[in-house]
Amino acid sequence: EADLESKLPLKGKKILITAGPTYEAIDPVRFIGNHSSGKMGFDIANEAAKLGAQVILVAGPTHFKANNGLVEVINVISAQEMYDVCHSYYNEVDVAIAAAAVADYKPKVVASQKIKKAADEFSIELEKTKDILASLGAIKKDQFLIGFALETENEIENAKLKIQKKNLDLIVLNSLQDEGAGFKKETNKVTFIDKDFKIEPMELKAKEAVASDILNKVILHFRKS
Ligand code: CTP
Ligand code: CA
Protein backbone atom coordinates (compact mmCIF):
# COMPACT_ATOMS: atom_id res chain seq x y z
CA GLU A 1 0.00 0.00 0.00
CA ALA A 2 2.63 2.52 1.03
CA ASP A 3 4.65 1.50 -2.00
CA LEU A 4 1.75 2.03 -4.38
CA GLU A 5 1.12 5.43 -2.86
CA SER A 6 4.70 6.51 -3.46
CA LYS A 7 4.93 5.19 -7.03
CA LEU A 8 1.41 6.15 -8.13
CA PRO A 9 0.59 9.12 -5.92
CA LEU A 10 -2.27 10.23 -8.20
CA LYS A 11 -3.95 6.84 -8.49
CA GLY A 12 -7.72 7.24 -8.14
CA LYS A 13 -7.62 10.92 -9.14
CA LYS A 14 -9.26 12.26 -12.28
CA ILE A 15 -7.67 15.25 -13.98
CA LEU A 16 -9.07 17.49 -16.72
CA ILE A 17 -6.44 19.24 -18.82
CA THR A 18 -6.78 21.69 -21.71
CA ALA A 19 -4.01 22.00 -24.28
CA GLY A 20 -3.06 23.66 -27.53
CA PRO A 21 -4.51 26.58 -29.43
CA THR A 22 -8.09 27.08 -30.53
CA TYR A 23 -9.03 27.96 -34.10
CA GLU A 24 -11.87 30.42 -34.61
CA ALA A 25 -13.41 30.17 -38.06
CA ILE A 26 -13.63 33.20 -40.34
CA ASP A 27 -15.02 31.35 -43.34
CA PRO A 28 -14.81 27.71 -44.58
CA VAL A 29 -11.07 27.99 -45.35
CA ARG A 30 -9.73 30.51 -42.81
CA PHE A 31 -9.41 30.90 -39.08
CA ILE A 32 -7.86 32.97 -36.29
CA GLY A 33 -5.33 30.91 -34.33
CA ASN A 34 -2.06 31.16 -32.44
CA HIS A 35 1.34 29.50 -32.24
CA SER A 36 0.70 27.27 -29.22
CA SER A 37 2.06 23.79 -29.98
CA GLY A 38 0.14 22.03 -27.22
CA LYS A 39 3.34 20.50 -25.82
CA MET A 40 2.95 21.83 -22.27
CA GLY A 41 -0.56 20.35 -21.89
CA PHE A 42 0.43 16.99 -23.40
CA ASP A 43 3.49 16.81 -21.15
CA ILE A 44 1.30 17.44 -18.09
CA ALA A 45 -1.20 14.81 -19.26
CA ASN A 46 1.41 12.13 -19.91
CA GLU A 47 3.18 12.83 -16.63
CA ALA A 48 -0.09 12.77 -14.66
CA ALA A 49 -0.90 9.38 -16.18
CA LYS A 50 2.56 8.11 -15.24
CA LEU A 51 1.72 9.08 -11.66
CA GLY A 52 -1.46 7.01 -11.86
CA ALA A 53 -4.10 9.65 -12.63
CA GLN A 54 -6.93 9.18 -15.09
CA VAL A 55 -6.66 12.06 -17.53
CA ILE A 56 -9.16 13.76 -19.82
CA LEU A 57 -7.15 15.89 -22.21
CA VAL A 58 -9.17 18.40 -24.21
CA ALA A 59 -6.90 19.46 -27.03
CA GLY A 60 -7.17 22.10 -29.72
CA PRO A 61 -5.48 21.47 -33.10
CA THR A 62 -2.01 19.96 -32.48
CA HIS A 63 0.12 17.11 -33.82
CA PHE A 64 0.83 15.69 -30.37
CA LYS A 65 -0.49 12.29 -29.31
CA ALA A 66 -0.90 10.92 -25.82
CA ASN A 67 1.48 8.08 -24.93
CA ASN A 68 -0.37 6.51 -22.03
CA GLY A 69 -3.58 4.49 -21.93
CA LEU A 70 -4.75 6.50 -18.95
CA VAL A 71 -5.01 9.61 -21.13
CA GLU A 72 -8.24 10.07 -23.06
CA VAL A 73 -7.77 12.76 -25.71
CA ILE A 74 -10.79 14.71 -26.87
CA ASN A 75 -9.98 16.81 -29.91
CA VAL A 76 -11.71 20.13 -30.39
CA ILE A 77 -11.27 23.08 -32.73
CA SER A 78 -12.86 26.19 -31.25
CA ALA A 79 -13.04 27.83 -27.83
CA GLN A 80 -16.77 27.10 -27.67
CA GLU A 81 -16.17 23.38 -28.30
CA MET A 82 -13.42 23.31 -25.66
CA TYR A 83 -15.78 25.05 -23.24
CA ASP A 84 -18.58 22.52 -23.87
CA VAL A 85 -16.33 19.46 -23.42
CA CYS A 86 -14.72 20.87 -20.25
CA HIS A 87 -18.11 21.52 -18.69
CA SER A 88 -19.35 18.05 -19.54
CA TYR A 89 -16.48 16.51 -17.49
CA TYR A 90 -15.86 19.10 -14.77
CA ASN A 91 -18.22 17.65 -12.18
CA GLU A 92 -16.44 14.31 -12.13
CA VAL A 93 -12.83 15.51 -11.85
CA ASP A 94 -10.61 16.21 -8.82
CA VAL A 95 -8.25 18.56 -10.62
CA ALA A 96 -8.46 20.83 -13.67
CA ILE A 97 -5.42 22.35 -15.37
CA ALA A 98 -5.93 24.95 -18.12
CA ALA A 99 -2.84 24.88 -20.30
CA ALA A 100 -4.61 25.79 -23.55
CA ALA A 101 -3.94 29.05 -25.39
CA VAL A 102 -7.60 29.80 -25.95
CA ALA A 103 -8.42 32.54 -28.46
CA ASP A 104 -9.71 35.63 -26.63
CA TYR A 105 -11.80 36.78 -29.60
CA LYS A 106 -13.64 35.13 -32.46
CA PRO A 107 -15.34 36.46 -35.58
CA LYS A 108 -18.84 37.66 -34.76
CA VAL A 109 -20.20 35.95 -37.83
CA VAL A 110 -18.68 33.06 -39.77
CA ALA A 111 -19.08 33.50 -43.52
CA SER A 112 -20.73 30.47 -45.07
CA GLN A 113 -18.78 30.88 -48.32
CA LYS A 114 -15.10 31.70 -48.87
CA ILE A 115 -14.74 35.49 -48.58
CA LYS A 116 -13.71 36.96 -51.93
CA LYS A 117 -10.93 39.50 -52.30
CA ALA A 118 -12.45 42.88 -53.16
CA ALA A 119 -11.86 46.23 -51.44
CA ASP A 120 -8.35 47.44 -50.51
CA GLU A 121 -9.23 47.44 -46.87
CA PHE A 122 -11.12 44.77 -45.04
CA SER A 123 -11.89 44.15 -41.42
CA ILE A 124 -13.55 41.45 -39.39
CA GLU A 125 -15.68 42.20 -36.39
CA LEU A 126 -14.67 40.13 -33.37
CA GLU A 127 -16.38 39.29 -30.12
CA LYS A 128 -15.04 37.77 -26.91
CA THR A 129 -14.91 34.01 -26.51
CA LYS A 130 -16.06 32.51 -23.23
CA ASP A 131 -13.33 32.32 -20.59
CA ILE A 132 -13.26 28.58 -19.95
CA LEU A 133 -11.06 28.71 -16.87
CA ALA A 134 -13.04 31.53 -15.24
CA SER A 135 -16.27 29.63 -15.89
CA LEU A 136 -14.81 26.55 -14.15
CA GLY A 137 -13.65 28.71 -11.24
CA ALA A 138 -17.12 30.17 -10.88
CA ILE A 139 -18.71 26.74 -10.30
CA LYS A 140 -15.78 25.15 -8.43
CA LYS A 141 -16.62 22.72 -5.63
CA ASP A 142 -13.72 20.55 -4.42
CA GLN A 143 -11.67 20.72 -7.59
CA PHE A 144 -8.06 21.86 -7.36
CA LEU A 145 -7.97 24.44 -10.15
CA ILE A 146 -4.76 25.44 -11.91
CA GLY A 147 -4.40 28.10 -14.57
CA PHE A 148 -1.57 29.51 -16.63
CA ALA A 149 -0.81 33.18 -17.19
CA LEU A 150 1.12 34.63 -20.07
CA GLU A 151 2.24 38.16 -19.28
CA THR A 152 4.77 40.56 -20.75
CA GLU A 153 4.48 43.34 -18.17
CA ASN A 154 3.52 43.65 -14.48
CA GLU A 155 3.71 39.87 -14.51
CA ILE A 156 3.19 39.11 -10.81
CA GLU A 157 0.44 41.68 -10.31
CA ASN A 158 -1.45 40.55 -13.41
CA ALA A 159 -1.11 36.90 -12.45
CA LYS A 160 -2.46 37.62 -8.95
CA LEU A 161 -5.46 39.36 -10.52
CA LYS A 162 -6.09 36.25 -12.62
CA ILE A 163 -6.01 34.05 -9.50
CA GLN A 164 -8.74 36.20 -7.96
CA LYS A 165 -10.84 36.76 -11.06
CA LYS A 166 -10.86 33.06 -12.01
CA ASN A 167 -11.01 31.63 -8.46
CA LEU A 168 -7.81 29.58 -8.90
CA ASP A 169 -5.82 27.54 -6.38
CA LEU A 170 -2.56 27.95 -8.27
CA ILE A 171 -1.31 29.86 -11.28
CA VAL A 172 1.67 29.02 -13.45
CA LEU A 173 3.12 32.28 -14.69
CA ASN A 174 5.00 31.96 -17.97
CA SER A 175 7.82 34.36 -18.69
CA LEU A 176 8.11 35.11 -22.38
CA GLN A 177 10.93 37.51 -21.57
CA ASP A 178 13.21 34.57 -21.12
CA GLU A 179 14.83 33.47 -24.40
CA GLY A 180 14.29 29.77 -23.80
CA ALA A 181 10.70 29.95 -22.70
CA GLY A 182 7.27 29.89 -24.26
CA PHE A 183 5.49 28.99 -27.48
CA LYS A 184 7.24 26.51 -29.81
CA LYS A 185 10.03 25.99 -27.30
CA GLU A 186 11.15 22.84 -25.51
CA THR A 187 11.76 24.69 -22.27
CA ASN A 188 9.82 26.93 -19.94
CA LYS A 189 10.63 29.38 -17.16
CA VAL A 190 7.69 29.60 -14.80
CA THR A 191 6.78 31.12 -11.46
CA PHE A 192 4.19 29.48 -9.25
CA ILE A 193 1.79 31.71 -7.32
CA ASP A 194 -0.73 30.09 -5.02
CA LYS A 195 -4.05 31.43 -3.81
CA ASP A 196 -2.38 32.89 -0.72
CA PHE A 197 -0.05 34.75 -3.11
CA LYS A 198 3.01 32.74 -2.11
CA ILE A 199 5.46 33.25 -4.97
CA GLU A 200 7.88 30.56 -6.09
CA PRO A 201 10.15 31.27 -9.07
CA MET A 202 11.42 28.12 -10.81
CA GLU A 203 14.51 27.54 -12.95
CA LEU A 204 14.40 27.42 -16.75
CA LYS A 205 13.86 23.74 -17.54
CA ALA A 206 12.44 21.24 -20.03
CA LYS A 207 8.65 21.35 -20.34
CA GLU A 208 8.53 17.73 -19.09
CA ALA A 209 10.24 18.89 -15.90
CA VAL A 210 7.84 21.83 -15.55
CA ALA A 211 5.00 19.31 -15.91
CA SER A 212 6.49 17.29 -13.03
CA ASP A 213 6.76 20.41 -10.88
CA ILE A 214 3.09 21.23 -11.52
CA LEU A 215 2.00 17.70 -10.63
CA ASN A 216 4.10 17.84 -7.46
CA LYS A 217 1.90 20.75 -6.41
CA VAL A 218 -1.16 18.58 -7.04
CA ILE A 219 0.31 15.69 -5.01
CA LEU A 220 1.13 18.07 -2.14
CA HIS A 221 -2.43 19.40 -2.20
CA PHE A 222 -3.88 15.91 -1.75
CA ARG A 223 -1.38 15.07 1.01
CA LYS A 224 -2.49 18.15 2.94
CA SER A 225 -6.23 17.67 2.44
N1 CTP B 1 -8.26 30.76 -20.61
C2 CTP B 1 -9.43 30.05 -20.83
N3 CTP B 1 -10.37 30.53 -21.70
C4 CTP B 1 -10.18 31.69 -22.36
C5 CTP B 1 -8.99 32.43 -22.15
C6 CTP B 1 -8.04 31.94 -21.27
O7 CTP B 1 -9.61 28.98 -20.24
N8 CTP B 1 -11.13 32.13 -23.21
C9 CTP B 1 -7.28 30.26 -19.63
C10 CTP B 1 -5.95 29.82 -20.22
O11 CTP B 1 -5.97 28.45 -20.56
C12 CTP B 1 -4.99 30.10 -19.06
C13 CTP B 1 -5.63 31.28 -18.35
O14 CTP B 1 -6.99 31.31 -18.76
O15 CTP B 1 -4.95 29.03 -18.15
C16 CTP B 1 -5.01 32.60 -18.61
O17 CTP B 1 -4.91 32.86 -19.97
P18 CTP B 1 -4.26 34.23 -20.45
O19 CTP B 1 -4.35 34.34 -21.94
O20 CTP B 1 -2.92 34.40 -19.79
O21 CTP B 1 -5.22 35.31 -19.74
P22 CTP B 1 -6.58 35.95 -20.16
O23 CTP B 1 -7.50 35.75 -19.00
O24 CTP B 1 -7.06 35.46 -21.48
O25 CTP B 1 -6.24 37.49 -20.21
P26 CTP B 1 -5.19 38.27 -21.20
O27 CTP B 1 -4.98 37.42 -22.43
O28 CTP B 1 -5.86 39.56 -21.48
O29 CTP B 1 -3.93 38.43 -20.38
CA1 CA C 1 -5.76 35.44 -23.38
What pLDDT sits at residue 185?
72
Contact between 172 and 200 under an 8 Å Cβ cutoff? The reply is no
Return mean pLDDT, the chain. 94
CA 17 – ligand 1 centroid, Å:
14
CA distance 88 to 73: 14
What pLDDT sits at residue 186?
84
CA 101 – ligand 1 centroid, Å:
7
CA distance 166 to 150: 15
Q: With 80 as the cut, is the pLDDT of residue 147 above it?
A: yes
All structural domains of the chain: 2-106+127-224 (3.40.50.10300)
If you take atom 17 of ligand 1, which residue's CA is the nearest one? Answer: 149
CA 102 – ligand 2 centroid, Å:
6
CA distance 137 to 48: 21
Please report the DSSP string for the chain in residue order. -HHHHHH-TTTT-EEEEEESB--EEEETTEEE-----SHHHHHHHHHHHHTT-EEEEEE-S-S----STTEEEEE--SHHHHHHHHHHHGGG-SEEEE--B--SEEESS--SSPPPP-SS-----EEEPP-HHHHHHHT-SS-EEEEEEEESSSHHHHHHHHHHHHT-SEEEEEESSSTTBSTT-SEE-EEEEETT--EEE---EEHHHHHHHHHHHHHHHHHH-
104 annotated binding-site participant = yes
Q: Which ligand is nearest to the CA of 147?
A: 1
CA 103 – ligand 2 centroid, Å:
6
Mean pLDDT for 119-134 is 98
- pLDDT bin (cut points 50, 70, 90) of residue 45 is very high
Q: With 80 as the cut, is the pLDDT of residue 187 above it?
A: yes
Contact between 29 and 110 under an 8 Å Cβ cutoff? The reply is no
CA atoms within 13 A on the CB side of 128: 3
Instruction: Indicate yes or no: pTM above 0.90.
Output: yes
CA distance 91 to 85: 12
If you take atom 18 of ligand 1, which residue's CA is the nearest one? Answer: 149
Q: With 80 as the cut, is the pLDDT of residue 207 above it?
A: yes
141 annotated binding-site participant = no
Q: Closest ligand 1 atom to the C-alpha of 172?
A: 15
Find the residues whose C-beta lies inside 6 A of ligand 1: 18, 79, 98, 100, 102, 104, 129-133, 147-150, 162
- pLDDT bin (cut points 50, 70, 90) of residue 58 is very high
- pLDDT bin (cut points 50, 70, 90) of residue 219 is very high
What pLDDT sits at residue 225?
79
162 annotated binding-site participant = yes
Lowest-pLDDT choice from 6-20, 40-54, 174-188: 174-188
List of residues 6+ apart from 132 with CB closer than 8 A: 18, 79, 82, 83, 86, 98, 100, 102
pLDDT digits over 69-91, tens only? Answer: 999 999 999 999 999 999 999 99
- pLDDT bin (cut points 50, 70, 90) of residue 178 is low
Q: Which ipTM value was assigned to this complex?
A: 0.99
91 is catalytic: no
Q: With 80 as the cut, is the pLDDT of residue 33 above it?
A: yes
